[in-house]
Amino acid sequence: MLVAVAVYEIHIPQARSLKDKRAVIRSLRDRIRSKWEVSAAEVGHQDLHQRARLGVAAIASAGGNLEPILEKIADTIDASGEAMLTGWNFELIDFGQDGPLTGPDGGHDEENA
């Protein structure tokens, strides 16, 4: 299983209030969620009118490639006409397919053993 986590820094020049900003972020977030079936949420700069930080998480099978999806999300934000992408970063985590699952205390997960 491959997990990708990305953070997108966004500038919204036309936002004159938090209400304006939230409308733009809500629109982008909903578009991203529905088009790529990922999780997305505003994760920073909630108190600033023209800046936002959008977090995105995606999961794929072990052979899946999530980088192109993250790049398309960046392109979508930048091409929206409502917001400008000022930067983004991501991390991929490969959980692999082998080995037993363990619980939070390090013990085996009995349901999946």
CATH topology assigned to domain 2-96: Alpha-Beta Plaits (3.30.70)
Supply 39's token pair: 């999780």
pLDDT tens, residue by residue, 56-91: 999 988 667 899 999 999 999 999 889 999 999 999
Amino acid at 81: G
Tell me the average pLDDT across 92-110. 66
Amino acid residing at 69:
I
Q: How far apart are CA 44 and CA 56, in angstroms?
A: 12
Question: What's the rounded mean pLDDT across residues 94-109?
Answer: 64
pLDDT, tens digit (0-9, with 9 covering 90-100), for 3-41: 999 999 999 999 999 999 999 999 999 999 999 999 999
Helix and strand totals (H; E) in the chain: 2, 4
At 94 the pLDDT is: 85
